[in-house]
Amino acid sequence: MLVQQRTIGKKTSISGMGLHTGTSCKMTFNPAPENYGIKFVRTDLGDSPEIPATADYVIDTARGTTLGIGEARVHTVEHVLSAVAGLQIDNIRIELDGIEPPIGDGSAVPYVEKLLEAGFIEQDAPKDYLIIDETVMFHDEDRNIDIVALPLNGYRITILVDYMNPALGSQHTGLFDLEKEFVTEFAPTRTFCFLSEVEALADQGLIKGGNLDNAVVIVDRKVEQNELDQLREKLGLKEPISVGQSGFLNEKTLRFRNEPVRHKLLDMIGDLALIGVPIKAQILAARPGHKANVEFAKKIRKLYQQKKLVKKYQNVKKEGVVFDINAINKILPHRYPFLLVDRILELEFDKKVTGIKNVTINEQFFQGHFPGQPVMPGVLILEAMAQCGGILLLNSIPNAADKLVYFMTINNAKFRKPVTPGDQIILEAELVEKKSRYVSIKGKAFVDNKLAAEAEFMAAVVDRDSNFREE
């Protein structure tokens, strides 16, 4: 696998019609600087909004992956992203003057050819690989989908599908060497659907640009010619539609015996590019689709963000410790005598954090609370929980160093047992809801595995230099 980041050597363009929207679009690939990433830019909209190609910006996965910010949308990005990721391009600016990339022949080949024509430039910055060092699993019971990432010093994908349909049946495929196999074995595979799906998709307005030149239609039921004539009219096709002996409309032939499952792998490469960085892992997937791919990409992306966060603040890796006190000092603005978290043991990015507070007789508050009967004030236990919550929040938002967390309300606070010198408090803070700059957190404090206190907090995340006032 490549070591240095890569961009393209020159700009190159491709024009055509989008598969689902049926709108025309010119798409231009542009070189981009180091650490820029992959971004789509809607040049036809005011201020040319940029949409980063990460799972955070996925807004729809109906028959394709759609990215969006505000009113800006880019539909069906998976084939473009697969071409970019398959050619191991890290930094590229993709400009569009429409809402959906040209579909071409339904494969990634049109984009691959343009990118190869543009050539590549190796950049000075090293690639920011996410190395999967533990098994990551995704399971969807309702759709019977399983995706697993296993540790591997490389990049491999194996896919199994079973369409429960005699026209296609079970298929499997695998990619073992991205550099050698992607361009010839997977990029040429075309999008496909079953005949029984086509009319429903047309009724939903999802294949306005679809035709028999950019999709393979698999005949999965008996159909009369008059039905095909009606379908042709509904799709606005000029060419007649017929069912031959091959099992595909208009006697289409497959480019590979297992082209449908290879196309599933092509889609997965594109959807996994939404992690935001290349990964080193072995991916095993059973019956994947865009929705599952994106959900899995979001899960892996959170793992990446967490690893990046830990690396940023924790200089020396310590067994069983996410952040030591030196790292906490870099994260929280609190200082003696009001820093009430000693260590972070676990961190689930944007979800939950677990920390500890060691309570000693040297704490200042024991001098007056209470002489001869030292008990930690309940309000300080709440503060310790809140500080754990602050660590969770300040590192799940952009520009965290420029932000402060102000707690606005405390609800359902309950104190179950006293905390005294010599105790070690296990603090938990779980993100319940996040809306704009307001967040809800549930906190708990344990001593000797017994609940000592709990509460619910609402907080606002504000700029450090602002005069916060609730609106």
Residues annotated as part of the active site: 290, 369
Q: Are 306 and 349 in contact (CB under 8 A)?
A: yes
| Cα–Cα dist 54/38, whole Å | 8
- What letter represents residue 450's amino acid? K
DSSP code string of 263-328: HHHHHHHHHHGGGSS-EEEEEEEES--HHHHHHHHHHHHHHHHHHHHHHHH-SS-BTTBSB-HHHH
* Widest pairwise Cα distance in the chain: 94
Omega of the bond prior to 370 within 30 degrees of 0, cis? yes
H/E run at residue 122: strand 120-126
CA dist 70 and 132 (Å) reads 33
Beta pairing class for 424-435 and 450-463: unpaired
Query: Which strands form 24-31's sheet, in the order they lie side by side?
Result: 12-17, 24-31, 92-96, 38-42, 50-52
CA atoms within a 13 Å half-sphere pointing along the CA-CB vector of 160: 7
Could you give the CA distance from residue 427 to residue 276 in angstroms, rounded to a whole number?
32
Pairwise CA distance, residues 104 & 359, whole Å: 66
Distance, in Å, from the CA atom of 306 to the CA atom of 352, rounded to the nearest integer, reads 12
Instruction: Give the closest residue to 339 by CA, choosing from 352, 326, 348.
Output: 326
Helix 290-313 vs helix 259-272: crossing angle, to nearest 10: 30
Stated as kind and residue range, the H or E segment containing 361 is: none
Residue owning tokens 């932000």: 403
Residue 38 phi/psi, 5° resolution?
-110, 125
State the sign of the Cα–Cα–Cα–Cα dihedral 309, 311, 316, 322. positive
Q: For the stretch 160-169, what's the b/e string if a residue is b when 16 or more beta carbons lie within 10 angstroms of its beta carbon? A: bbebeeeebe
Say if residues 252 and 192 touch (Cβ distance below 8 Å).
no
Helix/strand number for the chain, H first, E second: 9, 24
The residue behind tokens 């640009």 is: 209
